[in-house]
Structure 1
Amino acid sequence: MTLPNQLTILRIVLTPIFVVLLVSENISFKQISLLVYVIAALTDWYDGWIARKFGYTTQWGRFLDPLADKILTSSAFISFASLHLVETWMVVIIVIRDILITLLRSYAELKNKPVITTKSAKAKTFIQMIFIYYLLFAYVLNLSFEGINLELSILHPTLIYWLMLFVTVLTLWTGVVYLCDNWKIIKTLYVPAGKRASESI
């Protein structure tokens, strides 16, 4: 197994550890969860850099890497919902959209018919990550310095609500754009091989 794939597996392993620490009642564990998430996120950047620089790209890696990313981000959103930091219905929309698109993309990779990752989808992923980092830092910081009333600024419920709503709408919209841009490729994935052959005659 190549090093990038090992790092991808590590990211998947770190995800449940992050969740358990974040949702625990212990403030110290919550602080550690921030470190675990940062490490997990760094493995995503590092394995991509190694794969591009040294050509360590495999079909298995192309299948597993985006799946590991969505497992990590979806787990973060679900944890935020369980902590009542964000609205559950928004998380449901984000998680369902990301899982469906990721499974589609991974299936296409296995069939050697990779779909195009749109610029809007890349922007969505970047904004999701920024929001997760922001909320995670704000939440842990607010708990760590309880009594300073940081909630009035960086963790205000109304601010979090509108930021999360923006992320939700953006995520849903990019999913629709993704399907539209790749519709021709998507259709070929589900056409039987015999039918494709007959149509090409």
Structure 2
Amino acid sequence: MNLPNKLTVLRILLMPLAFFLVFQNHWASFLSGYILSILIGFTDYFDGYLARRYGTVTRFGQFLDPLADKIFVITLLLYFMEVHQIPAWFIILILIREFAMTDLRTLTAQEKVNLHVDIFGKRKALFQYLLLFHLGYLRFLELIHSPLEGFFRIFAQGTLIFLLILVTFFTIFSMGNYLWKNQKYFLGLS
């Protein structure tokens, strides 16, 4: 197994611990899970970078990496919805997009076509991670009972709204872009 695939497997193995720590809703365990989640996010970047840089892209990695990303992002977003930091419609939008992309990849894989992640999908992922980072920061402040007051409160809420808008835009746009660019592969598939 090559290094990028090992990083993906490591990410998957670390996720349950990160989720367990975050879900405790105690500031110390949350902070530990938050830091671990940031490290997990960095491994997502590095495994793809290393695979492309050294030409070690594998079918295993192409399957497992997006699956790991979906599990990680969706689980944390569900947590932040549960603690009332993001609305349910946002999660539903993300779920629809991710399930649709999984279906498209499955259909096209049967035709020996691989839907590669393009720049819009990468931007979506980047903004999702920035959103998770910001939500984690806000949640940590909430758990330590640190009040957000004045300008900082306005800035934090404004940043949250801005990131939600960016993620929503790139979620919809990247899906539309995949559909448009790859329509020839799936229009005739049943």
TM-score with structure 1 setting the length? 0.79
Counterpart residue number, 1:71 = 71
Q: Secondary structure at the match of 1:25?
A: coil
C-alpha contact 1:62 1:109 (8 A) present in aligned 2: no
More moved, 29-38 vs 147-156: 147-156
**Runs of 4+, deviation exceeding 4 Å:** none
* Equivalent residue runs for 1:39-118 within 5 Å: 39-105=39-105, 108-109=108-109, 111-118=111-118
Distance 1:7 1:111 in 2: 29
1:19 to 2:19 alignment? yes
Change (3 A) 1:161 1:111: same
C-alpha contact 1:7 1:47 (8 A) present in aligned 2: yes
Counterpart residue number, 1:149 = 148
Counterpart residue number, 1:32 = 32
Q: Secondary structure at the match of 1:99?
A: helix
Gaps (5+ residues) in structure 1? Answer: 192-201
Instruction: Name the count of aligned residue pairs.
Output: 188
Distance 1:102 1:163 in 2: 24
Deviations 1:56-110 (A, max 9, x none): 2211111111221122111221111111110012111112212321453366457
More moved, 48-57 vs 32-41: 48-57
Gaps (5+ residues) in structure 2? Answer: none
C-alpha contact 2:141 2:147 (8 A) present in aligned 1: no
Change (3 A) 1:120 1:27: same
Cα drift, residue 167 of structure 1: 2.1
Counterpart of 2:182, as a letter, is N
Distance 1:160 1:50 in 2: 31
Counterpart of 1:58, as a letter, is T
C-alpha contact 1:67 1:103 (8 A) present in aligned 2: no
Counterpart of 2:69, as a letter, is D
C-alpha contact 1:4 1:50 (8 A) present in aligned 2: yes
Q: Secondary structure at the match of 2:14?
A: helix
Distance 2:47 2:77 in 1: 23
More moved, 163-172 vs 28-37: 163-172
C-alpha contact 1:19 1:33 (8 A) present in aligned 2: yes
C-alpha contact 1:22 1:29 (8 A) present in aligned 2: yes
Deviations 1:11-59 (A, max 9, x none): 1222232222222132111101111111111211222233223332211
More moved, 83-92 vs 113-122: 113-122
Distance 2:31 2:114 in 1: 39
TM-score with structure 2 setting the length? 0.83
Instruction: Give % identity.
Output: 28
CA-based RMSD of the aligned residues comes to 2.6
Q: Secondary structure at the match of 1:113?
A: coil
Distance 1:152 1:4 in 2: 40
